[in-house]
Chain A
Amino acid sequence: MMLRIFAGSMLVVLVGAAGRGPFPAGTINGKVTYTGTPPKAHPIDMAKEPNCVTQHPTPVSTQDAVTGPGNSVRYVVVYIAAGDQGAPAATDTVHYDQKGCMYIPHVAAMQVHQPLAIFNDDPHSHNIHPLARINPEWNKSQPKGAPPIRTTWEQPEFIAVKCNVHPWMHGYFAVLATPHFSVTDTTGAFMLAGLPPGKYTVTAWHERFGTQSQEVTIGGAETKTVNFVLTAKPY
C-alpha cells in the first residue's frame, strides 16, 4: 500500500516535471514585425521544369523574406534559447514536402533527434542537399515515387537546404536544442506553450533579418506577450 502511494506520488512528480501535469504552465506569444526595407519578393521562373510550371497557375514568389500587413514577418523561428527546464523531447515526425518545386514549409523547425521525414510529391526527381556545417552535410537523390527520406539531426544548427537541379528551391531546417519552438505564420504570430515557471531567453531567428533575443519571466499559469521588431535590409 505504502509502496503504491509512493509510486503514485513519484508519477505526479515526473509528470509535473514534464510540464504537462497539474503544475502551472505559462505561455509566451507575440508577433514578429520589421522596420526598414525588406527585399522584394520576385516571381520564380520554373521554365526549366515544365511539371512545376503547370502546378502553379499563378507564379509563386521567393520566400526568403515573406512579409504581410502591419509589417509582419513570416517564417521566423522563435524558440527558448536559455532557461529550458528539461521538457520532454519532441517525438512527433516533422514533415518536409517537395511539391511544385517548392519546399513546404519553407522553414521547418525541429528539436535535435526529432524524426524528420522528407517527401517528394512531384512527378519528377529532386535532390535534397542540406548544407550543414556542424551536422553532416549529405546530398541524396529522391526520384518520383521514392519513399520519404527519414532522418534526424544531432546538433543544433540552422541548416540551409537546397535542390541543385532546381536552383530556386531553397529552405531551412531549424534544428534546436529545445522542444519549445514556433515558426511565425502569415500574420507574424508565434506561441510557445507549456512553459513551467522560470526565467527564459526567447530568441527570434530569420534567414535574412538576423537574430534577436529577449528575457521573459513566467511566474505561473500566465500568458506573456513578447514582440520582436527585426531590421529588414533590401539585400
Chain B
Amino acid sequence: MRPIIRRMARMAALSVLLGAGGTTAGWAQESQVGSITGHTDAGKKLYRRYCIGCHGPSGDGAGENAPWIDPKPRDFTLAVFKCRSTPSGALPTDEDLFNAITRGFVTTYMPQWRPLTAQNRTDLIAYIKTFSPKWRSGKPGTPIAIPAEPAPTAESILRGRQLFQRMECWKCHGPAGHGDGPSAATLTDNKDLPIRPYDFSTGTRFMCGATNQDLYRIFMTGLDGSPMPSFADQLKPAEAWDLVHFLRTLQPIETREAAIWRDWLNTHARELKPIGPGGGGR
C-alpha cells in the first residue's frame, strides 16, 4: 500500500513540475526550451552575475551601465519584446527568448551568450519572466505560421520591390534600404527614446536572425516596443516571401537573390522607377 502512495505522490509532484514548466508558465515562472526546464533560483544567480550591469537589479533596464548604452537595455518589467515568433502584442515563447539570448542583437550592445550552457540560458528565461506580472496573467501567443519558401525569381524580387514601395517601407528604411527614409530621423521607441531603422546596406545579419525565415518573421510579427509594425494583416504569405527576396538584394553580401537581381538588372534596369514618393513601379 505504502509504495503505491509514494509512487502516486511522486507522479503528482512530477505533473506539477511539468505543468508549471511548459510554455504556459504558471506562477512558478519556470521555463521550458525543448527538453530543458529552467528554474528561477538558478536564473537569478546567473542574472546577478551576467545581466544586472545593464538590465538592472529590478529588471527595468536601468542598470549602472545603462546611461552609456544606446539603444537602452530591455526593460523586462514591461514584458514587451522585439524578437518573437508570436503576433504583435503577444508574449514571446520561451524559445523566442532563448534564441534572443543566444543570438544577441547585432545593432545593440547585447552580445551573444553562447558561452553560457543551454541550461543556463533557460534558467535565465525563467528568472526574466518574474519581472512582469504579465507572465502570471497571460500566456505566450501562438507562433505565426511560415509556409515553405518558394524559390526566388526575378519576378518575385520585382513584386517584393513594389511591396517595399506600396507598404512604404522606404519611409523609414530609405529608398535603397540605407535606413535614411524621411521618417528615420524622428523615430522613437515605446519610451520616447530615439531609435534608428535597420540599414540593410551595412548588416549581414538582421535584428532577429540571419535566415530568410527570420526576415519573414520580423515584418510579419513586428518588433514590439520599436517603431517597426506588424504587416501580418497586410501581406499574404506569398507576398511576404516576395518582400523577403527583394530585401535580400539590399545587403552588402552575395546572396542568391542578389545574383538573380543583378542578372535581371543587366537587361531591364532602365524599366525601373526609383523607389520613393510616386515611384517604385516598372
| A in complex with B | yes
**Interfacial residues, chain A to chain B (CB-CB below 8 A):** 48, 50, 124-125, 127-129, 131, 133, 136-143, 146, 149, 164-167
Instruction: Quote the shortest CB–CB distance from B15 to chain A (angstroms).
Output: 30
**Cβ B231 vs Cβ A141 within 8 A:** yes
Give 28 pairs: A residue, B residue, CB < 8 Å, sorted on A.
A125-B168, A125-B171, A127-B227, A129-B227, A129-B229, A133-B78, A137-B78, A137-B80, A137-B89, A138-B87, A138-B88, A138-B89, A138-B230, A139-B88, A139-B228, A140-B222, A140-B229, A140-B230, A140-B233, A141-B231, A143-B234, A146-B233, A164-B172, A164-B188, A165-B171, A165-B183, A167-B187, A167-B188
Asked if B208 lies at the interface with its beta carbon under 8 angstroms from chain A, I say no
Q: Residues of A contacting B277 with CB < 8 Å? A: 50
A136 CA / B228 CA spacing, docked (Å): 16
Asked if B178 lies at the interface with its beta carbon under 8 angstroms from chain A, I say no
Instruction: Quote the shortest CB–CB distance from B189 to chain A (angstroms).
Output: 9
Asked if B224 lies at the interface with its beta carbon under 8 angstroms from chain A, I say yes
A108 CA / B19 CA spacing, docked (Å): 41
Q: Residues of A contacting B229 with CB < 8 Å? A: 127-129, 139-141, 164
Given contacts A127-B229, A165-B171, A166-B183, 6 further A-B contacts (CB under 8 A): A125-B171, A138-B89, A138-B222, A140-B88, A140-B222, A167-B186
**Cβ B88 vs Cβ A146 within 8 A:** no
Contacts of B119-173 to chain A: CB distance below 8 A? 138, 166-168, 171-172
- A interface footprint on B95-133 (CB within 8 Å = 1, 0 otherwise): 000000000000000000000000000000000000000
Asked if B67 lies at the interface with its beta carbon under 8 angstroms from chain A, I say no
Q: Is the interface of B mostly helix, strand, loop or mixed?
A: loop
**Cβ B227 vs Cβ A164 within 8 A:** yes
- A interface footprint on B228-246 (CB within 8 Å = 1, 0 otherwise): 1111111000000000000
**Cβ A48 vs Cβ B78 within 8 A:** no
Instruction: Quote the shortest CB–CB distance from B86 to chain A (angstroms).
Output: 11
Known: A164-B187, A165-B183. A137 touches B224 (CB 8 A): yes
A224 CA / B132 CA spacing, docked (Å): 43
Asked if B213 lies at the interface with its beta carbon under 8 angstroms from chain A, I say no
**Cβ B225 vs Cβ A137 within 8 A:** yes
**Cβ B190 vs Cβ A131 within 8 A:** yes
